[in-house]
Amino acid sequence: MSTNAGNSMAIIMTVLVTIVMWITAIVGTIAIALIGMSIIAHYSDGSIQILNLLIEDKTFSISALIAGFLGALIVIPAIIYVCFQLRRILATLSDGDPFVPENARRLRFIAIAIALTQLLTILIQLATPVMFKEATISPRIDLIAWASVAALFILSQVFREGTRLRDEEKMTI
C-alpha cells in the first residue's frame, strides 16, 4: 500500500467515521434506555427507581416519549449502519481501488437505509396523533435527506459504470 494524500485522507476519514459510529452507539444506547425508563415511569405512577437512580416522568407526554423512543430505535441503528458501510468504502479507497462492484452496492444500500429511515420517521409522525389524542406532532419532510438519497443513487451508478469501464480497460490489449 502506497502512502499518498488520498490514502492518508481515507485513513483520517475512517477514524472520524469510526468516532461518529461509536459516539452514536454509546449516546444512542443511553438515550434509548432513558426514554424507555421514562415510558415505564409514566405507566407506574410517574416515577421509577432502579438502584439509586430515580426517574420521574413529569416533563413529557406519553405520546412524545413513545414517538421519541421509536424514532431513536430507527435513527440510531441507521446511523451506525451508514457509518459501517462508509468505513468499508473508505477501506477500499485506502487500498487504492475504490471502483469495486461492492462500493456501488454499498452506496445503494446507504441510500435505501436513509430513505427507509425518512419514511419510517414520517410514519411515526403521522401515527402518533392518531394513537394519542393529545399529540400535536406534524410530519416534516427533510428535503436534504431526500436529496442525499438521490445523490447516493447517482453515485452508486457512477461507481457501477466506473467499475465496468475499468474492467473493460483491463481486457483491452
Tabulate helix, strand, coil % of the chain (nearest 5). 75, 5, 20
Grid look-up 462500493 returns 103
Beta bridge partners of 54: 49
pLDDT in tens, 67-88: 889 999 999 999 999 999 999 9
pLDDT in tens, 17-30: 999 999 999 999 99
- Whole-prediction pTM value? 0.81
Give the per-residue pLDDT at 92.
Answer: 92
In sequence order, what are the residues at sequence separation of 6 or more whose Cβ sits closer than 8 angstroms to the Cβ of residue 118? 141, 142, 145, 146, 149
Average confidence (pLDDT) over 43-65:
70
What ranges do the domains of the chain cover? 5-171
Average confidence (pLDDT) over 115-141:
82
Helix (H, G, I), strand (E, B), or coil: what is residue 47?
A: strand
The C-alpha cell that represents 137 in the structure block = 406532532
